[in-house]
């Protein structure tokens, strides 16, 4: 074969890469190598993003096998053939370390893939790297843990936070270390880093995507989901990972709710006929940055211009009755220790052991010590009270939506720009992701522009359970009408290898 012209991996899409494969303009090996080159250039050097815990030593071999298949058959092996994927370090990848951000699990190499990782491999994806995360997924604003010695950094402005806890996937995708990535979202850990890094990210309906083989945090709110640079790429990933899984019994609820493909809902006119409420109660002026509110106001205008009918303001009469509630500590301990029980000999099996061994980042010490002595969930009155409150919250929001006739409501992912790394007390974060998490409803984050010194901000779209198809129509219509995403200046295209 003649030498191939260099293929630019930065900002490349699934469709663009596949077109290049079919036209023999590049190979999976070249694409994977280009991704590894970007990690080498920008993760520990250059802007020092610290988004990657470990790269996959088999990535090149996996890519070569895909190239051989295409050469022999003329066909791609699956819908993610040769697509580099970033995997948050709370998902099991056979042969690669899983830590959940905790130094207590350094060296733990699971023998089996998480269900969604196995689906990725079957679809032809190449696992390029495991990405850093907030320790035990406990950090919605920045990404710091006891596994790596630094904050993960935002490539748009490296003084600022990636968002947690899927911040490594967020930073890495923004920097084109991979094309699509896996995050998990319990209280906002897909949407916060998607917003901070100018990505699209979906918190799916609870149990639309299997959590088997994933380190959990609070089962009743835990979701596994996709992150990407475009809605088209997000849908390509969602199509592969959504579905019922016997290994995660909760996914039985998804039976009959999974679309054969979500691609038909990528409609440029997807906003036409949609009635959207603007939940201004969630971002009052006294608790919001004016530049973020200005972006939201412009987004509302853009939604209307693209065909949506706007209800502004959309109000929940009982809004103040349902403030943010953190996860019950008993449930958090149960989720983490459930995963620890499956680790090998020599690894801690309880949070108490981890605390006794001082295997934690100091910033997480206080919460871990309290969580380690939490009661059993079945006897914890906090759990029963929260479950009852969330039932009433769902009833109130559903009734308000029905009364206003809205299909979905919008608000910022966060009412303030991304925080400075290390700033946990001075400036507010303003995350508003807890609303959808407490409702157990799906929510999408889509870029809505930038504030101050190139700091991304995300529009959040929330709807009732199993409404992913409609959320995709709304988000894609908005994305295509506005096209706010731009690549970060700190991670430019690399000079092609000679």
| In contact, 431 and 386? CB cutoff 8 Å | no
| In contact, 283 and 293? CB cutoff 8 Å | yes
| In contact, 457 and 448? CB cutoff 8 Å | yes
Is 189 an annotated catalytic residue? Answer: yes
Pairing of strands 84-88, 180-185: parallel
Please name the helix (run of DSSP H) or strand (run of DSSP E) that holds residue 383, with its range, or none.
helix 381-404
Please name the helix (run of DSSP H) or strand (run of DSSP E) that holds residue 195, with its range, or none.
helix 191-196
**488 to 154, 159, 221: CA distances (angstroms):** 9, 13, 32
Please name the helix (run of DSSP H) or strand (run of DSSP E) that holds residue 431, with its range, or none.
none
Coil, strand or helix at 282:
helix
Which position among 35, 189, 288, 437 bears the catalytic label? 189
Pairing of strands 180-185, 126-131: unpaired
**Residue 6 CB neighbour total at 10 angstroms:** 16
Is 438 an annotated catalytic residue? Answer: no
DSSP string, 93-145: BTTB---TT-GGGTT---SS--HHHHHHHHTT-EEEEEE--SGGG--SS----
Coil, strand or helix at 31:
helix
Which position among 103, 165, 176, 210 bears the catalytic label? 165
What contacts 24+ positions apart, CB below 8 Å, involve 372-379?
372/333, 374/328, 374/329, 374/330, 374/332, 374/333, 375/330, 376/330, 376/334, 377/328, 377/330, 377/331, 377/334
Ramachandran angles phi, psi of 53, nearest 5°: -85, -50
| In contact, 100 and 359? CB cutoff 8 Å | no
Distance CA 259, CA 237 (A): 13
- In the chain, the largest separation of any two C-alpha atoms, in whole Å, equals 69
Peptide bond into 362 cis (omega under 30): no
Is 330 an annotated catalytic residue? Answer: no
Catalytic residues: 88, 165, 189
């Amino acid at each position: 074969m003649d030498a191939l012209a260099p293929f630019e991996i930065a900002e490349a899409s699934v469709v663009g890469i596949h077109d290049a494969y079919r036209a023999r303009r590049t190979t999976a090996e070249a694409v994977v190598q280009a991704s590894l080159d970007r990690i080498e250039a920008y993760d520990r050097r250059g802007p020092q993003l610290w988004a990657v815990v470990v790269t996959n030593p088999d990535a090149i071999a996996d890519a070569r096998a895909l190239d051989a298949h295409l050469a022999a058959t003329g066909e791609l092996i699956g819908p993610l053939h040769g697509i580099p994927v970033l995997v948050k370090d709370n998902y099991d990848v056979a042969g690669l370390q899983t830590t959940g951000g905790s130094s207590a699990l350094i060296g733990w190499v699971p023998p089996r893939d998480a269900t969604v990782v196995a689906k990725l491999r079957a679809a032809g994806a190449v696992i390029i790297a495991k990405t850093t995360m907030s320790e035990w997924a406990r950090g919605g604003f920045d990404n710091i843990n006891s596994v790596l010695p630094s904050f993960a950094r935002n490539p748009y402005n490296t003084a600022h936070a990636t968002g947690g806890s899927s911040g490594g996937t967020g930073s890495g995708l923004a920097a084109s270390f991979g094309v699509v990535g896996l995050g998990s979202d319990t209280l906002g850990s897909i949407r916060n880093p998607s917003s901070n890094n100018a990505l699209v990210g979906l918190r799916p309906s609870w149990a639309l995507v299997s959590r088997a083989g994933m380190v959990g945090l609070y089962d009743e709110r835990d979701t596994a989901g996709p992150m990407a640079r475009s809605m088209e790429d997000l849908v390509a990933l969602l199509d592969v990972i959504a579905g019922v899984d016997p290994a995660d019994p909760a996914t039985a609820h998804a039976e009959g709710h999974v679309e054969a493909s979500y691609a038909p809902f990528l409609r440029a006119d997807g906003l036409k006929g949609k009635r959207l409420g603007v939940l201004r109660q969630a971002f009052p002026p006294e608790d919001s940055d004016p530049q973020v509110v200005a972006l939201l106001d412009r987004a509302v205008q853009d939604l209307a211009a693209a065909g949506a009918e706007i209800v502004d303001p959309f109000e929940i009469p009982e809004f103040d009755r349902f403030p943010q509630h953190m996860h019950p500590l008993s449930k958090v301990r149960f989720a983490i220790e459930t995963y620890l029980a499956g680790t090998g000999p020599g690894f801690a099996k309880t949070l108490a052991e981890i605390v006794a061994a001082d295997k934690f980042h100091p910033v997480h010490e206080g919460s871990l010590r309290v969580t380690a002595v939490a009661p059993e969930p079945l006897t914890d009155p906090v759990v029963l009270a929260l479950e009852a409150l969330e039932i009433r919250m769902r009833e109130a929001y559903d009734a308000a939506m029905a009364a206003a006739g809205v299909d979905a409501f919008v608000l910022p992912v966060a009412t303030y720009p991304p925080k400075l790394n290390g700033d946990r007390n001075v400036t507010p974060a303003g995350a508003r992701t807890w609303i959808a998490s407490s409702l157990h409803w799906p929510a999408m984050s889509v870029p809505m522009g930038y504030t101050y010194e190139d700091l991304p901000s995300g529009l959040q779209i929330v709807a009732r359970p199993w409404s992913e198809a409609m959320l995709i129509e709304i988000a894609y219509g908005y994305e295509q009408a506005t096209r706010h995403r731009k690549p970060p200046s700190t991670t430019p295209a690399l000079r092609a290898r000679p």
